Amino acid sequence: MQTPTIQQPKTELIPLIEREILFGNPEKTSPKLSPDGKYLAYIAPDENNVLQVQLRTVGKQDDRQITADTKRGIRRFFWTYSGEELIYLQDTDGDENWHLFSVNIQSNLVRDLTPFQGVRSHPIALDRNFPNEILVGMNIRDRRKHDVYRINLQNGAVELDTENPGKIEEWTVDAQFQVRAAAATTADGGLELLFRETADKSWESLRYWGPDDEGSAVMFSENGKILYIIANHDVNAQRLIALDLETKQETTIASDPEYDAGATVIHPTKREIQAVSFYKDKQEWQILDQSIAEDFEDIGKFRPGEFDLTSRNLADTTWLISYMTDDGPVYYYVFDRASKTFTFLFSNQPKLEGLPLSSMSPISYTARDGLTIHGYLTKPVGAATPVPTVLLVHGGPWGRDTWGYDRQAQWLANRGYAVLQINFRGSAGYGKAFINAGNREWAAKMHDDLLDGVNWLVETGVSQQDKIAIMGGSYGGYAALVGVTFSPEVFACAVDIVGPSNLITLLQTIPPYWEANRANLYHRVGNLETEPEFLKSRSPLFFVDRIQKPLLIGQGANDPRVKVAESEQIVKAMKQAGKPVEYVLYTDEGHGFARPENRLHFYAIAEEFLAKYLGGRFEPADNIANHSGVVNPQTTHN
C-alpha cells in the first residue's frame, strides 16, 4: 500500500508592490477651493509626468491644465482673493531659491512675481480686503535677511514695505494689511517678539523667549487689539495665548500639559481661531468655536483615520476635508455644512486601494536615563517575527514622525522588513523639556535613544540583533552615518540620504538666510567658534576607520542645507580606507529627491542594497547605470 504524500502548507508571500506606485507622482492631490467657491484647483501630473495645477469649475467636469512647468513639478500653490489667479512656488533644481509665479485661470498667463536672480522668496500674507496685493519676504538687499515687499498682482510692481534691521525671522500682518509684529533672534539664541502701533512707529519689545523656550505669533484679531501667539514660557508645552496689546495681559486659550499646540483652524473672514490641534500618538483637536463643534464631530465619524480641514470658501458653506489612514491613500471630500453631506472628490493614489499595505502602531519605551520615547512600528503583512528591520530616522532633527501612510515605511514593510520610526529626544511636539533634552546631544543621547529602540526591537521579539539596518534623510542621514561609526557593530548596513558627515563644515556652510538663526544652532548643536573639537568629536567623518558595515549614500548636487561636500568628503575618506560604500549623486536635485525619476532610481538601488545585507526582497531594476542626470563617481565594494 502506497503511503500518501502529505502536502506541507505553503507560506504565501504577499506580492511586491511596484516602486512606481509607492514613489511615483500622485494622480491628484492638494485640492483647494477658490475664495468665491466657483473653482477647484488641484495638482496632477501632465502627459510628461510633471506635476501641474489643474482647474475645474465646481459642479462640472471641465478639468484643464493651467500651468506648464517643464521639469521639477509644482508642489505648492494657493489662491489669491481676486479669484482669477493663483500663485505657485518653484525653485531651480533644488536650490530652494523659491520664486512666486502667478497664473491667470482664464488665459493661463504665467508671470514671475519675484524675478530676481539668486533671491529666495516666501509668501507672508494675502488679505481678502486687499485682493490685488501680496506681501512677500525676499532677501534682495542682503542674502542674509528677508525684507517685506508689497507686490501688485495686477501690474507686478514690487515695492519695499518693511526693512529688516537684521535679525527678524517672522512677520505678522494685521487686518489693515500692515506689518505690525515680528520675531527677531537674539544674540544668545533666543527670540524677541516685537510690536509697533502703526507701520510708521518704532518697534517695541513685547516678550523675550530664551534659547530653551519657543514662541511665535499666529495673527492679530480683527480690531488689532489682540495678538494670538503660541509659546511655552512659564510652562512645558506650547499653548495658544491671547495677548492684550493694551494691558499686556496674557490669556491661555488652548493647552495640554505634555504636548505642544500645533495647527490652527482660522475662520475665513472673522480672524477668529476656531480649533487647535495637539499631536499625541495621533492628532487630536481642541474646539474653541462651538459653531463648528458639530461639524468636526460629523467629520470625525464619517471615515476612520485622521482628518484635516484643507480648504473652505469665504462664505464658509463648503469645506474640503482630507482623510488620512495608515494603509491607504488620502481621500478628499467636499463637505456641505448646511446639509451635513459628504461628496467624494478623489483619492491621491487610487492604485493603493486593495493592496496589502501594513498598519502603523504607536509604541513607546523607556530610554536608559528614564526618558519616555515614543515612536511608530510598521510590520510586514502576515510575517512571523522576528523579521529583518530598518530603523528609519526622521530629519530636522527638530521635527517628528507622525501616524499615517508613509511611503518609505510601506515600501520597506512590503519588502519584508519591520520599520521602527522613533521620536528621539530633540523631536518636536512633546514639550520643551523633551526638545531641550536633545541640546548638544548629536551622536550622544540622541543616538542612545535610537540604540535603546534597537534593544526594544530585540527584547520584544520583533527583530534579531544582526538583521537591523539604519536609514534616514537629512538629520536621519547623519544618524545613519553615526550608526556605522559610533556603534559600528550594531547595524547590518546603513543608508544615508543628504546627511551631514562633519558638523564643522555643516555649520560653516549654512545658507546665508539662516544667519539670524546661527546662535540657536550653536546653542543646540555646538559652537563653531569656540568648540571645534567638540563638534569634531560628534562628526562621523573623523571616525571612518571604525566602519565595519556597508553604507549607501544619496545626495543632491544643489542642496543648500547639506552641501554636496558633506557626502563627497566621507565617500573619499571611506574609499581611501577601503571601506564599503556606494554613492549616488543627482545633478538636478537639492535637499531630497523631488523628481519622481530620481526617487525611483535611488529606491531601486536602496532596496537591492538592503536585500543584499538584510535578506529582504527587491524588485529588479532596469537601466540603473544609464539613468540620465545621475553621476555615480565612486562606488566601492569590499
Tell me the DSSP string of 260-327.
-EEEEEE-TTT--EEEEEEESSSEEEEE--GGGHHHHHHHHHHSSSEEEEEEE-TTS-EEEEEEE-SS
List 99, 591, 601, 627, catalytic entry: 591
Residue keyed to cell 543632491: 556
> Is 591 tagged catalytic?
yes
List 474, 501, 539, 567, catalytic entry: 474
Q: Are 556 and 94 in contact (CB under 8 A)?
A: yes
Phi-psi region of 454 (alpha: psi -120 to 50; beta: other; left: phi over 0): alpha
Q: Which residue in 69, 22, 76, 31 sits closest to 47, CA to CA? A: 69
Q: Give φ, ψ of 330 to 5 degrees.
A: -85, 130
Q: Which residue in 220, 208, 219, 264 sits closest to 239, CA to CA? A: 264
Cα(485)–Cα(551) distance, integer angstroms: 11
Peptide bond into 397 cis (omega under 30): yes
Q: How many CB atoms lie within 10 A of CB 153?
A: 21
**Helix-strand-coil percent breakdown of the chain, rounded to 5?**
20, 30, 50
Say how many Å lie between the first and final Cα of the chain, rounded. Answer: 57
Distances from the Cα of 543 to the Cα of 480, 484, 501, angstroms: 13, 9, 10
Q: Are 54 and 103 in contact (CB under 8 A)?
A: no
List 559, 567, 601, 627, catalytic entry: 559
H-state helical runs in 473-543? 475-486, 503-508, 518-524, 532-537
Cα(546)–Cα(539) distance, integer angstroms: 13
As given in the structure block, the three cell numbers for residue 321 are 476635508
> Is 474 tagged catalytic?
yes
Q: Which residues are catalytic?
A: 474, 559, 591
